[in-house]
Amino acid sequence: MIPVRGFEGKTVAVFGLARTGLAAARALVAGGAQVALWDEKPESRAAAEAEGFPLVDLSTADWSRFAALMLSPGVPLTHPAPHWTVDKAHAAGVEIVGDMELFARTVNAASEHRRPKIVAITGTNGKSTTTALIGHVCAQAGRDVRIGGNIGVGVLDLEDMHGGAVYVLEMSSYQLDLTSSLHADVTVILNLSPDHLERHGSMEGYVAAKRRILANQGKGDTAVIGVDDPWGQQICTEITAANRRTIVPISATKAMGRGVYVLNGQLYDATGERAVEVADLNRARSLPGRHNWQNAAAAYAAAKGLGIAADEAAEHLLTFPGLAHRMETVATLGRVRFVNDSKATNADAARQALCSYPKSFWIAGGQAKAGGIEALEDLFPRVAKAYLIGEAAPQFAETLADKAAVAQAGTMDVAVAQAYADASATGQDAVVLLSPACASFDQYADFEARGDAFRSAVQRLAHAAKGAA
């Protein structure tokens, strides 16, 4: 745990008592603050009470006694409308912070010899893989690395800091909205495409939230910026003009005169006088496809920004074991490979997966994002057949009509069984791909639960096939 500094003897209201809220409450108390906790869900309040935390109904509390409101990132700050706690905080002049801001202030208050290095990663797609990949490279290079934030362990639940530590932190746009003083030694903006617009009001609002990751960087810091989309290109141009930090553009689609890029799986470093080929990413079994090449380019550039030697960074990329739910091969039955890409919660993420295979038996659907899968129409010829699940199934079937074969499967078990039967019937090597292009909340608690359901369905098929044999 990282005890939070700056609120000693003061009372902080904490709203939202899931993982982030409870971790923040523990860290605040450990740092000498008092807390007042509340959640609208009785079961969440009960969990906090079981840990001995004081519950205070923030809807009737005296807000003049609070030094800050620690807001969980899932609670709306501005759109579609501010949460009632946000309105109360504004009316009382109480500042609103998130767990990343509490971490940032604690780092900023530490003596120079205790301050760790910080790598902060954001983007629309690939954040978790890139975060884990940077952490892997750092660990293999002998650094004392802690990985967390929006992936795995919440930032305040990580081991306490010291001067030799490296914190590699995934940051969502929700977290960035609540963060103002984080100073990262290395920042990464992988890519930007429309997502979470209901929470940010517009694409401009979404991009503005992502850009907050760059706000406090200066001379000596490194910004790694993906330039394969127009928003990334614009950010790179604008911060290059500001000329304050080292800027490393990355691309998985084109050669560049400056930066780090990938062509046909070959990773090139053009940050020096000339472009040098540093790694063959085709050898990295857990990093297939162009989207993973972008992740690898970002991780390589970030590692160099931390002072890790180029050859060492490139070598460690190739030993990355991969992450669950992100282009994860969960089984191969006969000549059929099952790939779990449940983390693909929007069309752009699904595009990366569909591009990775010449043909796939595609399981898609769930809670649709704006635009559905219309932007993927150019990839429909790669779909051998689509098996649609969840709320989005009728909408997706209409989009796919006359462009690809479709089965309205409804549930994961049915989709997996139908896809396996059809893929097996080809008598050739085939891929059954779960890449939903949707949120999971119509049928599952989160994308992890959805991916686990896919894996379980595949395991049941394997057991049935073994029994039949």
pLDDT at 398: 97
184 φ, ψ (degrees, to nearest 5):
-95, 135
Question: pLDDT at position 187, please?
Answer: 98
**Separation CA 88–CA 106 (nearest Å):** 26
At residue 469, the pLDDT reads 57
Q: What is the pLDDT of residue 466?
A: 75
3-state secondary structure of 31: coil
**What CATH number should be reported for the domain whose range is 112-317?**
3.40.1190.10
Residue pair 306/139 in contact by the 8 Å Cβ criterion: no
| Amino acid present at 429 | D
* pTM for the predicted model, two decimal places: 0.81
Instruction: Pick left, alpha or beta for residue 205 (phi over 0 → left; psi -120 to 50 → alpha; otherwise beta).
Output: alpha
Instruction: Give the CATH class of 328-468.
Output: alpha beta
**Omega prior to 80 cis, within 30 of 0:** yes
DSSP state of 377: G
What is the predicted pLDDT for the residue at 468? Answer: 64
pLDDT tens series, the chain, 469 aa? 999 999 999 999 999 998 899 999 999 999 999 999 999 999 999 999 999 999 999 999 999 999 999 999 989 999 999 999 999 999 999 999 999 999 999 999 999 999 999 999 999 989 999 999 999 999 999 999 999 999 888 999 999 999 999 999 999 999 999 999 999 999 999 999 987 878 888 999 999 999 999 999 999 999 999 999 999 999 999 999 888 899 999 999 999 999 999 999 999 999 999 999 999 999 997 888 888 999 999 999 999 999 999 999 999 999 998 888 988 889 999 999 999 999 999 998 899 899 889 999 999 999 999 899 999 999 999 999 999 999 999 999 999 999 999 999 999 999 999 999 999 999 999 999 999 999 999 999 999 999 999 999 999 999 987 766 5
| Among 127, 210, 304, 316, the one annotated catalytic | 127
- Do the domains spanning 11-97 and 112-317 agree at the CATH topology level? no
Tokens of 14: 């904490």
CA angle 153-156-162, nearest 5°?
A: 105
CB 27 within 8 A of CB 1: yes
Active-site residue, from 125, 150, 191, 295: 150
Q: What's residue 326's pLDDT? A: 86
125 is catalytic: no
What is residue 214's predicted lDDT score, i.e. its pLDDT?
Answer: 97
Positive/negative CA dihedral, 271, 276, 282, 283: negative
CA–CA dist 199, 209 (Å, integer): 11
Three-state SS sequence of 345-376: CCHHHHHHHHCCCCCEEEEEECEECCCCCHHH
127 is a catalytic site residue: yes
Beta strands 266-270; 367-368: pairing state = unpaired
* 83 has catalytic annotation: no
DSSP 148: E
Residue the block writes with tokens 């960087």: 217
- C-beta atoms surrounding 234 within 10 Å: 14
Q: Any alpha helices (H) in 144-222, and if so which ranges?
A: 173-177, 197-200, 203-211
* Rounded (5°) CA angle 260-261-262: 145
φ, ψ of residue 383 in degrees (nearest 5): -90, 110
What is the secondary structure of 88-120 as a DSSP string? HHHHHT-EEE-HHHHHHHHHHHS-GGGPPEEEE
Going from N- to C-terminal start, the domains of the chain cover 11-97, 112-317, 328-468
Containing 453, the helix (H) or strand (E) segment is: helix 447-468
403: helix, strand or coil: coil
Q: Given the residues 83, 88, 117, 196, select the one marked as catalytic.
A: 196
Pick from 300, 304, 432, 303: nearest CA to 357:
432
- Residue 197 has a pLDDT of 79
The CATH number of 11-97, from 1.10.10.410, 3.40.50.300, 3.20.20.10, 3.40.50.720, is 3.40.50.720
